[in-house]
C-alpha cells in the first residue's frame, strides 16, 4: 500500500501545484532557518576530540586575589597558570602525556621567500601533537629531549608550508624564525578543531597556529605570551626570570590521564602542592584545583554564549510558526478532497487507511520540504560565510568557520524536517479520516 499511497500523493501534488508549492516553501523556510542556526550552534558546541573526553584534562589552580575572584560570575580559577606552578606539575610522571604551552608571535622567513611574515607560534612541549592527535602531512613532531635544552626544530602548519615552500615536503629544510635558524621536522595536515578547545584565547574559533617550537625556546628567547597575561597584584618584574617567578598567569597546561585512578592520583598531587604553597603564603583563595575534561571546559569557558542559545530558540519558534501555517494549508487541502475521500470510504477504505494515505502524502511533502530547506540553508550559510569572511578580510578564524555542513548536520536536518512535518500533518490526516462519508457522497 505504501507504493499506492505514494502514487496518490504525487497525483495530489499535481492536482494542486500552487498549494503544494506553498506548503513545501513554508516547511522549507522553517527548516532552513533551523538548520542554519543549528549548524552554527553545533559547530560551536561540539567537542572536537570527544573520543578522548575522559582522558584529556585542562589543569587549573586558583592563585588569584584572595579578595576578588578571577571571574565575578563564576567560581572558576584562571584558565592559565603561573610558570612556576606549571613547572612543578609538569614534573609529575602520573600523566600519560602532559603539555605546557602558550602562544607567541615570531617573524618567519625562508631563504627564498619574498617577505618575512609575523605568524602566531605555539611554544609547547613535545606531547602537544600526540595528545591532541594532530595529523601530520610530512614528518613528525619532536621528542621530549628537544624541549630542554631547546633544539632548533620547528613544525609548520599546512597553510604556512604552502606559503613558504609551495606545499612541498619541507622536512629537513631550514627557515628563520625571529632571526634564528630552525630545522623543519614536520608539516601538519589540515587541522582546524572547532572550537579551538586547547587554547580559547584570541577567539573560540581562531585558526591553529602557523608554527610550533619547543617549550625551552620560551626561556631561551624570553618569549612572551602574546594573547593572555594576567596579574592580580603589583610585582617587581625587571627581567624574564622575574616574570617566570611571578604570580602572573600565562601558561596553559593539559594532561592526558589513562584512567580514573590516574586522575585521582594527579589530583592528589596537585592538592599536595597547593597545600605546601599555601603554607608558604601563596594560594590564599579557597582550594580550587581542577582537572576539567574538554566538554566541561567548553561549558566553563562559555564557548556557546546565551545569545546563540536564544537564537536557537527563536529558530525553533519560527519553525513552529511555519508548521502551524502548514497545518492550516493541509487541513484546507485535505478537506477540499473530502468528497473523494468519501468515495474511497464507500469503496472499503477504513479510517486507518485514509489516515495512512494522507500521512504518506504529508511524508512526501516533508521530503520535498527537507530537500528545499537544505538547499536554502546551504545558500544562507554561504551568504553568512561570505559576509563574515569579508569582515575578517579573508583571514580564517571567526564566525565564518562555523558555516559548514557536515554529514551529521545534514542527517539531523533531514530527520528534523521529516519529523516536524509529519507531526504537523497528524491532525489533518486524522481529521479527514473522521469525516462521515455519507455527507459527501451525494455532493461529489
Query: Residues interacting with other proteins, by CB under 8 A?
Result: 1, 4, 11, 14-15, 340, 343-353, 436-438, 441-442, 444
The secondary structure of 168-179 as a DSSP string is ---TT-EEEETT
Q: Which is nearer to other proteins, 335 or 343 (CB)?
A: 343
Check: CB of residue 354 under 8 Å from CB of residue 435. Answer: no
Q: How is residue 260 written as a grid cell?
A: 580514573
Closest residue by Cα to residue 138 from 156, 123, 152, 153: 156
Q: Which is nearer to other proteins, 31 or 360 (CB)?
A: 360
296 contacts: CB under 8 Å, gap ≥ 6 = none
CB of 429 vs other proteins, minimal distance in Å: 15
Residue 103 vs residues 53, 98, 291, 296, 315: alpha-carbon distances, Å: 24, 17, 21, 23, 37
CB of 349 vs other proteins, minimal distance in Å: 5
What are 139's strand-pairing partners?
A: 186
Q: Which is nearer to other proteins, 11 or 276 (CB)?
A: 11
Check: CB of residue 38 under 8 Å from CB of residue 312. Answer: yes
Q: How many CA atoms lie within 13 A of 425 on its CB side?
A: 27
Q: How is residue 120 written as a grid cell?
A: 602566531
CB of 11 vs other proteins, minimal distance in Å: 5
Q: Which is nearer to other proteins, 279 or 434 (CB)?
A: 434
* CB-CB neighbours of 7 under 10 Å: 11
Backbone dihedral angles phi then psi of residue 193, each to the nearest 5 degrees: -65, 130
Q: How is residue 93 written as a grid cell?
A: 610522571
Q: Which is nearer to other proteins, 197 or 440 (CB)?
A: 440
Pairing of the two strands 180-188 and 117-124? unpaired
The CA distance from 206 to 426, in Å, is 45
Residue with C-alpha cell 574538554?
A: 294
User: Does the N-terminal peptide bond of residue 293 adopt cis geometry, omega within 30 degrees of 0?
Assistant: no
Q: Which is nearer to other proteins, 1 or 379 (CB)?
A: 1
Q: Which is nearer to other proteins, 2 or 51 (CB)?
A: 2
Q: Which is nearer to other proteins, 266 or 440 (CB)?
A: 440
Amino acid at each position: 500500500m505504501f507504493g499506492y499511497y505514494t502514487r496518490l500523493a504525487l497525483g495530489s501534488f499535481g492536482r494542486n501545484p500552487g498549494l503544494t508549492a506553498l506548503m513545501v516553501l513554508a516547511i522549507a523556510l522553517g527548516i532552513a532557518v533551523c538548520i542554519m542556526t543549528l549548524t552554527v550552534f553545533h559547530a560551536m558546541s561540539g567537542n572536537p576530540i570527544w573520543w578522548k573526553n575522559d582522558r584529556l584534562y585542562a589543569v587549573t589552580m586558583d592563585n588569584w586575589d584572595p579578595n576578588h575572584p578571577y571571574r565575578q560570575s563564576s567560581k572558576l580559577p584562571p584558565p592559565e597558570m603561573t610558570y612556576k606552578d606549571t613547572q612543578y606539575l609538569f614534573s609529575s610522571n602520573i600523566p600519560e602525556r602532559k603539555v605546557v604551552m602558550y602562544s607567541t608571535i615570531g617573524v618567519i622567513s625562508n631563504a627564498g621567500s619574498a617577505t618575512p611574515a609575523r605568524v602566531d607560534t605555539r611554544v609547547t612541549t613535545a606531547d602537544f601533537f600526540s595528545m591532541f592527535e594532530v595529523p601530520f602531512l610530512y614528518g613528525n613532531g619532536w621528542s621530549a629531549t628537544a624541549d630542554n635544552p631547546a633544539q632548533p626544530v620547528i613544525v609548520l602548519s599546512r597553510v604556512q608550508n604552502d606559503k613558504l615552500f609551495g606545499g612541498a615536503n619541507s622536512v629537513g629544510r631550514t627557515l628563520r624564525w625571529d632571526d634564528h635558524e630552525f630545522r623543519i621536522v614536520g608539516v601538519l595536515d589540515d587541522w582546524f578543531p572547532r572550537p579551538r578547545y586547547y587554547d580559547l584565547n584570541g577567539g573560540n574559533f581562531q585558526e591553529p597556529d602557523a608554527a610550533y617550537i619547543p617549550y625551552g625556546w620560551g626561556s631561551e628567547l624570553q618569549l612572551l605570551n602574546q594573547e593572555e597575561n594576567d596579574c592580580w597584584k603589583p610585582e617587581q618584574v625587571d627581567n624574564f626570570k622575574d616574570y617566570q617567578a611571578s604570580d602572573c598567569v600565562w601558561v596553559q597546561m593539559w594532561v592526558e590521564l589513562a584512567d580514573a585512578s590516574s586522575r585521582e592520583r594527579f589530583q592528589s598531587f596537585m592538592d599536595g602542592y597547593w597545600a605546601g604553597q599555601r603554607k608558604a603564603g601563596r594560594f590564599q583563595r579557597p582550594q580550587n584545583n581542577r582537572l576539567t575534561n574538554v566538554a566541561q571546559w567548553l561549558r566553563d569557558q562559555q564557548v556557546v554564549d546565551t545569545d546563540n542559545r536564544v537564537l536557537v530558540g527563536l529558530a525553533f519558534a519560527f519553525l513552529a510558526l511555519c508548521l502551524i501555517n502548514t497545518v492550516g494549508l493541509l487541513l484546507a487541502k485535505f478537506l477540499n478532497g473530502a468528497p473523494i475521500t468519501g468515495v474511497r470510504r464507500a469503496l472499503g477504505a477504513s479510517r486507518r487507511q485514509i489516515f495512512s494515505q494522507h500521512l504518506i502524502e504529508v511524508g512526501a511533502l516533508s521530503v520535498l520540504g527537507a530537500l528545499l530547506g537544505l538547499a536554502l540553508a546551504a545558500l544562507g550559510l554561504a551568504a553568512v560565510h561570505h559576509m563574515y569572511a569579508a569582515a575578517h578580510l579573508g583571514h580564517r578564524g571567526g564566525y565564518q568557520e562555523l558555516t559548514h555542513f557536515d554529514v551529521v548536520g545534514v542527517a539531523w536536518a533531514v530527520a528534523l524536517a521529516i519529523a516536524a512535518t509529519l507531526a504537523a500533518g497528524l491532525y489533518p490526516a486524522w481529521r479527514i479520516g473522521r469525516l462521515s462519508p455519507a455527507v459527501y457522497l451525494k455532493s461529489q
